[in-house]
């Protein structure tokens, strides 16, 4: 039975108060073709019937063997993460405005900041941003605050396209220009000119780039430094358990580091919510967006945690607010922190090693097929691009029928040819998964 909060008499009184003759007259500004109940929807179900419907759908939908990446990865998440973040203290907590009531949340955020500093080799990290793309946008704004006489950012062509869309949407509103850096067609890595544009403030360095390749980050950081540019590192955080941390790149390290924390304990769930990583050098901390949590001691020597250098929305003028309402991602921060604490340094390194090894085994297996070749043969972490003799979109759709998400067609990202497929491996991939991929690919190529 539908829940209608007002009876006919109350409804008539409200319509009379606003001088509307009827409910239809109230909504007469809505075009007629947009009014009414959409066609084709089934009748409503009772709660029990709806539960049975969902159970049937869950049973009918087998889990995919996931080989897709492009910025979001199917990593193992320890069971402790879901168990602990489901506690009411974390699950229902809003932003920790009241430090005296939120010491547990503040401690988790402080530990998240500490882990990010250790992973990236940077001196300061904030309490997260919405996601990696908005963190990169904030890094660009921060670079312009540090170089106020300049108005452009050097952006690699092979930055993840959805991240680039965020920059293209938001930076022009701040009168900031993106200058695209070319990709070496033979190596798949970034090319820089002999001389940087005069008004460029920073160079974005992706590690790993959208083609799955490792960049020569030391050379790029040195070039940026010689050109008077700040270097903004865009990292896949789990890879830092194996690769050199940005704080040690080149001569003096990167100035700002951003990334997406999804790979650190946040499940794939239809595109979010995710959690942006942001770290920088101590001397830049007053230009850092978002909030910081600090550890201190009270007059009795007891440890306590507090927001410091905070810039919450009530403290700044609306026209200056960007995306620094950061701690509403607190649950994602909590999940990443618990995952990192559970795995520890050795666990993260083992996950990174296995991701590379599984991706390498998958690459070797797929290259045995006639007509399949690697597009770029540079070093990679857990993703690579293969060129198939048939369109990659057809391959992806065909393998879905076998319960395999084969990868991401590069043409969909605007970065490759029709046969190019970006394929990812993680520690979740088994030998049976690789065999299943090969069997399905063999059937596809035979037809």
**Sequence-ordered list of residues with C-beta below 8 angstroms from that of 113, at least 6 positions apart, any chain:** 124, 125, 126, 127, 292, 293
CA contacts within 13 A on the Cβ side of 167: 26
d(CA 123, CA 282): 6
pLDDT at residue 416 in the model: 87
pLDDT at residue 349 in the model: 96
Residue from 372, 363, 346, 354 nearest 442 by CA: 372
Backbone angles phi, psi at 202, to 5 degrees: -155, 155
d(CA 273, CA 257): 20
d(CA 214, CA 161): 17
Residue ranges of the chain whose pLDDT lies below 70: 1-2, 36-39, 60-62, 93-101, 310-328
Measured from the Cβ of residue 50, the count of other Cβ atoms closer than 10 Å reads 11
pTM of the model: 0.84
Question: Which residue reads 């869950």 in tokens?
Answer: 58
Written as six digits, the tokens of 116 are 């990010």
d(CA 85, CA 334): 7
The answer to whether 93 and 102 have CB atoms below 8 angstroms apart is yes
d(CA 422, CA 352): 19
Strand partners, 236: none
Written as six digits, the tokens of 320 are 């200056």
d(CA 344, CA 378): 30
d(CA 277, CA 288): 12
d(CA 96, CA 328): 9
pLDDT at residue 28 in the model: 84
What stretch of H or E contains 146? helix 132-146
The answer to whether 305 and 103 have CB atoms below 8 angstroms apart is yes
pLDDT 10s digits, 282-324? 999 988 888 888 999 989 999 998 888 765 555 656 566 665 5
d(CA 319, CA 153): 22
Q: How many residues does the chain have?
A: 447
Residue from 249, 243, 196 nearest 379 by CA: 243
What is the DSSP-derived secondary structure letter of residue 1? Answer: -
Give all strands of the β-sheet with 373-374 in edge-to-edge order: 373-374, 383-387, 420-424, 408-409
**Sequence-ordered list of residues with C-beta below 8 angstroms from that of 198, at least 6 positions apart, any chain:** 150
Question: Which residue reads 């909060």 in tokens?
Answer: 5
Q: CA-CA distances (angstroms) from residue 442 to 239, 259, 370?
A: 31, 36, 10
d(CA 342, CA 112): 13
């Amino acid at each position: 039975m539908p829940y209608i909060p007002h009876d006919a008499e109350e409804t008539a009184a409200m319509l009379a108060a606003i001088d509307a003759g009827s409910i239809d007259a109230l909504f007469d500004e809505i075009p007629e073709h947009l009014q009414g109940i959409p066609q084709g929807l089934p009748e409503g179900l009772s709660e029990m019937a709806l539960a049975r419907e969902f159970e049937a759908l869950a049973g009918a939908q087998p889990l995919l063997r996931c080989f897709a990446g492009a910025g979001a990865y199917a990593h193992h998440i320890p069971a402790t993460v879901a168990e602990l973040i489901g506690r009411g203290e974390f699950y229902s907590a809003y932003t920790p405005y009241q430090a005296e009531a939120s010491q547990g949340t503040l401690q988790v955020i402080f530990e998240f900041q500490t882990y990010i500093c250790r992973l990236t080799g940077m001196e300061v990290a904030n309490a997260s941003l919405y996601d990696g793309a908005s963190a990169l946008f904030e890094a660009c704004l921060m670079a312009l605050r540090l170089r106020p006489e300049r108005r452009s950012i050097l952006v690699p062509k092979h930055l993840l396209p959805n991240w680039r869309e965020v920059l293209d949407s938001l930076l022009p509103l701040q009168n900031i220009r993106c200058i695209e850096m070319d990709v070496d067609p033979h190596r798949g890595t970034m090319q820089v000119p002999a001389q940087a544009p005069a008004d460029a403030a920073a160079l974005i360095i992706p590690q790993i780039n959208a083609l799955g390749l490792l960049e020569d980050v030391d050379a790029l950081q040195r070039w940026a430094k010689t050109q008077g540019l700040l270097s903004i590192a865009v990292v896949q955080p789990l890879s830092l358990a194996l690769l050199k941390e940005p704080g040690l790149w080149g001569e003096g390290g990167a100035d700002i580091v951003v990334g997406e924390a999804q790979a650190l304990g946040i499940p794939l769930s239809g595109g979010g919510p995710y959690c942006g990583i942001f770290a920088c050098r101590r001397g830049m901390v007053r230009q850092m967006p978002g909030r910081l949590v600090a550890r201190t001691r009270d007059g009795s020597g007891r440890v306590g945690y507090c927001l410091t250098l905070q810039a919450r929305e009530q403290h700044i003028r609306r026209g200056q607010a960007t995306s620094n309402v950061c701690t509403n991602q607190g649950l994602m921060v909590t999940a990443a922190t618990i995952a990192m604490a559970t795995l520890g340094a050795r666990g993260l390194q083992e996950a990174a090693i296995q991701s590379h090894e599984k991706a390498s085994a998958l690459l070797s297996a797929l290259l045995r097929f006639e007509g399949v070749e690697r597009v770029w043969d540079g070093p990679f972490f857990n993703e690579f691009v293969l060129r198939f003799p048939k369109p990659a979109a057809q391959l992806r759709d065909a393998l879905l029928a076998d319960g395999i998400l084969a990868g991401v067609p590069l043409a969909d990202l605007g970065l490759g040819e029709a046969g190019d497929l970006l394929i990812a491996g993680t520690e979740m991939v088994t030998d049976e998964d690789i065999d299943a991929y090969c069997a399905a690919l063999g059937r596809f190529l035979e037809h």
